Chain A
Amino acid sequence: MIAVKNLSKSFKKKAALNSVNLQLDAKVYGLLGANGAGKTTLIRCIAGLYASPQGEILYRNEPIHKSKSFHQDLGYLPQAFGMFQELTLYEMMEYICSLKGIAKRKCANEIAKALTSVNLEDRAKDRIKTLSGGMVRRVGIAQAILGNTKVMLLDEPTAGLDPSERARFKNTVSELKKDRLILISTHIVEDVDACCHSVIVIDGGSVLFNGSCEELRNIAKNKVYQINEKDADSIVGEKYILKVCEIEGKIYHRILAKENQDYPSEKPSLEDGYMCLVKRLA
């Protein structure tokens, strides 16, 4: 659906993306990366917000800035999302329908569908300023899907949401993912694990990994160990302490080690695979 070829983008002299190559199809992708890794730059480039990135971004084999359908098919939720506080949710949706060029007769239906899919149909008459932060993020998703968009780029959609809102978000994505390309940028690995088919790991502007969640987990296979604090020094080679936990009064370190150790390895999580990549322990 979308092909990113040799995409590079710099801000002044600082490179934000280095020769990124991606092929994205109608699936849910999780774009993982630390803060400043280049997630937002990549998403903005794909959304066509930057005027002059190097390389190519093709939508259905056509450069996005030349594609007539790309903007119609695109739904974008930026990291910081807001709306006219003075309008009601329904008015705002109508406003967006007009901007997206959705035919007047289809508007009501589209709005109802979008609001239902984000569970906000009962707040349609409320002013935006009365909605909570989580609701506003959901409205953001609603505006992105208005017009039956085929491509959804969601930049940090769960940032700042409480656990129940995050769970609701995951459900929403699950409902929306049919026949859509959804690219979710996040630094929260659990969110990716919960609702993405594929993961793209980006660091320092370069793509480190592009594959399934399982493949990412497998990167850390035989590299994750949970050992007693006292034995921590016995680890051979490069290591990275993933977390420190207490079990039955004893302190354990969950460690990521580059070389095989004399301890039994743990089943890796998606986060282990991700850390393995970014800490260059693969």
Chain B
Amino acid sequence: MRKLYKASLSVFLRSKNLSLPYLVLLALIVAYFGFCFNNYLHYFSVAIWLVRSCIFLVAFFIYCSYELAVRMYDNNMVEYLKTYQQGLLKAYAAIILCLLTIIALPSIMFFAFILFMYYYNDVQYLPFLIHLMKLSILYFGLSFLIGIMLGTAMAAKLKTKRLAVYSLTVIFMLLNTTFTDVLFRVPYLLFNSYQTERMLYYFKDFLTVVPYQLGNNFIIDPIYGFPTEPIRWILAVFWILFPLTLILTECFDRKTKKAMLVTSYLIVLLGVGLFSNRGSTLLMDMRVDSYPYADPHYYQDRPGEDYSGNEAGFMIEEYKMDLTISNELHAEVEVTIDNHDLDSYDFTLYHGYILKSVRTEDGEIPFARLGDYIRIGSLNGADRLIFKYYGKSPKYYANRQAIALPGYFAYYPKPGRTNIWDLDRYGYVINTSPNESKYSVHVRSNLKVFCNLAGSGNSFHGKSDGVTLLAGMYDEVAKNIYAEPMRSDLPKREYIREAEEILTNLFKRLDRPEPELFSRISEKKFFQAPQNFGLNSNTEDIVIMSDHITAISCNNGPQLAESIMESIIKPQADSLCMSHYRQYLKYLFNRQDETDPLFQNAVDLNLLLKEIDEMQFLAAKNSNVDRETYLNMNEQEKKAHSDDEKRLSNLGQIVSEKAAKYLFYESPRQEENLRIFFDYFTAESEADYLELVERIVKEELGDDRS
């Protein structure tokens, strides 16, 4: 075999169309490392840039392996090689061995560079190093191996049909980038066919050997890292074994050939079967099913209902949660209900979780499932219910790579009917229990799970209004502070204390009682939530629960305090109101930029009132224009309408800034105004913001005039 290997290697090295591009490739890799080193020193950025180049390398190795293996066909060698005892098999084995040597060098280079960057960045977090090693094996080892297996298999099957081989290679390469996404999106974008899009993406995903594709601009969440879920390894093994069986069918005759064919069919069936049950994976692209779009899309056609006042009629005293996190969440949750005399019980459980059964001590009971809601009839005196379900959420993942299940998300049955998504605020509803329940949680997972409850060994217990589970590249970075250790913006206890102090002083200043949740926040467990939580939601920057806090970032005390303050705005507030609120917070936290031109002169209140009038006039005028009216307008009217809308938009910003500056900065009743507007923003007020501004300004003008 050594001679065969040596000969194959000699053929490769002496072929100018193989060895020269290979040497150029090695030089380019070194140059690329230099580029990455100079420009993207941050831990994940380097890896992202390296992974981006991966598909080109895979395509290059398809080329190399095809061109090397096809030489046997170009030179009419196969016919006589087949007459030797397993001659063709040995020849292919030698070629594959030679190609393994060829890919070994760039693989080692990538591996070494990643290792170098790890130590250069001084991350010192072993799970991250392990992740990088997995990444190197999967993306810079197995994917290259897939390249050589595909190239060799194409030589074995398509022989000298180069046009077919290179067309397939280009298609394969394009499918491993986001550039072809638009084709896969056509069914949905043009025909609103979500199912067809899903089916096409299924096909695309199956062919994806580089999951973080070229053209993907989504950031990699440090808790999750690059997709290296078990299905990625299974797919990689599939794309190695399947071409291998195709090659072997060429090398054998008769029974063995038939056995190889049967094996290849079985491998396809197994691959497709396992792929179909891949469970929770992180999809970060433009498809409807992906992380950022799935839920906004789902809830777009299912607007939230007003469930306020629609009390559950019962509370859950105790949860016993037995969770198994394999490729997705499998749960058995026992709840103890305080009121067992109701005719029916409503629960909220995210629609991605498939409810298998609901039981009491007496056996299974019927239930009705509609979207996120479960309705159960009378319990006949039973006080315990056992829910058995499994499934996944596109955003709140739970698999063998990472877990991100925040306590405010209905991944376990929550009492009553509550909305999961708030279309107005474009974010998830912070859905915590109205009472603190007793929890006993056991998680079966290959990961070390971090929870707001006390416990160890993935078993937790305690009282809270929600159970948050986080795992992956995640750790306790300081006492009761949990975060991804390699992040540069790690939360610190002093930030939380500072925020707590700022908030206490603010509430004193506002002469309002500090909400119970805000008190003693520095004593609560702090969980840094995955960065991407903010990608499709405006409500999760910071969430304060009875015993813990989850926050996307915590860079300093004032910012954290402001985030906390921002989170208390009532959910029914619309986006315009949010904009006013942010102006309000700017002044409340003394964050105004006094070098801004706005601060060169005092606000002209008469002009402000005029602008408010104009705004109200334009808003009223535009509100009468519905789609039909607009379509019936002539061009001149349409232009006038468009001008009005632009003017209204400009005025909105101007008035918001001026009003905030006057009311919360210039006004002699500045403190009182801060209080009035605090009540306005935090109460469920239906009043119009501009009317309130107008009234106060007029009052103040009246005061001045008097």
Instruction: Spell out A's residues near B (CB within 8 Å).
Output: 44, 47-49, 51-52, 65, 71-72, 74, 76-78, 80-87, 91-92, 94-101, 104, 140, 143-144
Contact = CB atoms under 8 A, between A and B. Distances in A.
Contact of B83 (A49, A65, A85, A95): A49
Contact of A78 (B3, B7, B10, B76): B76
Contacts of B74: 82
B3 A71 contact: no
Contact of B3 (A76, A85, A97): A97
B82 interface: yes
Pick the most buried of B14, B77, B91: most chain A CB atoms within 10 A of its CB.
B77
Contact of B75 (A65, A72, A83): A83
Given A87-B7, A91-B10, A95-B7, A100 B84 contact: yes
Nearest to B16: A86
5 contacts: A72-B85, A78-B76, A87-B11, A97-B3, A101-B85
Given A87-B10, A91-B7, A94-B7, A99 B87 contact: yes
A212 B560 CA distance: 104
Interface in B255-289: 257
Nearest 5 A/B pairs, CB to CB: A82-B75, A86-B14, A80-B76, A98-B3, A78-B79
Contacts of A140: 80
A85 B75 contact: yes
B159 interface: no
Nearest to A97: B3
Contacts of B71: 84-85
A99 B76 contact: no
A86 B83 contact: no
A94 B80 contact: no
B687 interface: no
B85 A76 contact: no
A104 B253 CA distance: 28
Given A49-B79, A52-B254, A78-B79, A100 B7 contact: no
Contacts of B91: 99
Interface in B135-176: none
Contacts of A51: 253-254, 257
- Chain B interface category by residue count: 20 to 34
Given A71-B83, A76-B83, A91-B10, A98 B76 contact: no
Given A86-B15, A99-B4, A65 B90 contact: no
A51 B255 CA distance: 9
Given A94-B3, A95-B3, A99-B90, A48 B83 contact: yes
A92 B90 CA distance: 14
A86 B1 CA distance: 19
Contact of A143 (B3, B80, B257): B80
A140 B14 CA distance: 22
B3 A82 contact: no
A69 to B, nearest CB: 10
A154 to B, nearest CB: 11
Contacts of B254: 51-52, 65
A97 B71 CA distance: 19
B79 to A, nearest CB: 4
Contact of A71 (B10, B75, B84): B84
Given A76-B80, A99-B81, A48 B253 contact: yes
A74 B76 CA distance: 18
Contacts of A65: 253-254
Nearest to A74: B83
A82 B80 CA distance: 9
Nearest to B71: A84
Given A80-B79, A82-B74, A82-B75, 8 more contacts: A48-B253, A84-B11, A84-B71, A85-B71, A95-B4, A98-B3, A99-B87, A100-B87
Nearest to B253: A51
Contact of B10 (A47, A86, A99, A100): A86
Contacts of B83: 47-49, 71, 74, 76
Contacts of B80: 76-78, 81, 140, 143-144
Contacts of B253: 48, 51, 65
A83 B253 CA distance: 23
Pick the most buried of A51, A96, A98: most chain B CB atoms within 10 A of its CB.
A98
Interface in B1-45: 1, 3-4, 7, 10-11, 14-15
A70 to B, nearest CB: 9
A115 B7 CA distance: 19
A135 to B, nearest CB: 15
A166 to B, nearest CB: 21
A21 B388 CA distance: 72
Pick the most buried of B11, B14, B80, B85: most chain A CB atoms within 10 A of its CB.
B80
A94 B11 CA distance: 14
Interface string B164-202: 000000000000000000000000000000000000000
A118 to B, nearest CB: 15
A39 B74 CA distance: 23
A98 B1 contact: yes
A84 B68 CA distance: 10
Nearest to B12: A86
Given A51-B254, A65-B254, A91-B10, A84 B85 contact: no
A161 to B, nearest CB: 16
A77 B81 CA distance: 10
Nearest to A47: B83
A98 B71 CA distance: 18
A97 B1 CA distance: 10
Pick the most buried of B7, B10, B74: most chain A CB atoms within 10 A of its CB.
B7
A86 B11 contact: yes
